[in-house]
Amino acid sequence: MSYTLYGIPNCDTVKKAKKFLDAQGVDYQFVDFKKSAPVASNIKKWAAFYGEIPVNKRGTTFRKIKEGFESSSEAKQIKLMLDNPSSIKRPILEKGTKVLSVGFNDQSWNEIFK
């Protein structure tokens, strides 16, 4: 079963995650949010794993949609994220259909790949 890494190629955190996976010799497919936007079911699955909708609150894209996002229902929040994929927290790592990680952290990823 192969790994899938979701993100945006010019994101520094995604670059760190790719470097980590390459150093571990992990075979993975990279899915660029800008070229292959996720669907609502992806965001719902990632939210179930993460404990909340995986929005990148530190990014410039979120700042543009913050007011609308914070005053919206979950369905509208997901729609805003689909319309603005850079607002999705990244990277997201899956193995098959199982979510392994939302975001990147050396320590937690070392645990995943022990």
Catalytic site positions: 11
Angle CA 60–99–53, to nearest 5: 40
Sequence-distant (≥ 6) Cβ neighbours of residue 50 within 8 angstroms = 89, 99, 102
Q: How many CA atoms lie within 13 A of 26 on its CB side?
A: 24
CA 49 to chain centre: 11
Q: Measured on CA atoms in the order 15, 58, 49, 86, is the torsion positive or negative?
A: negative
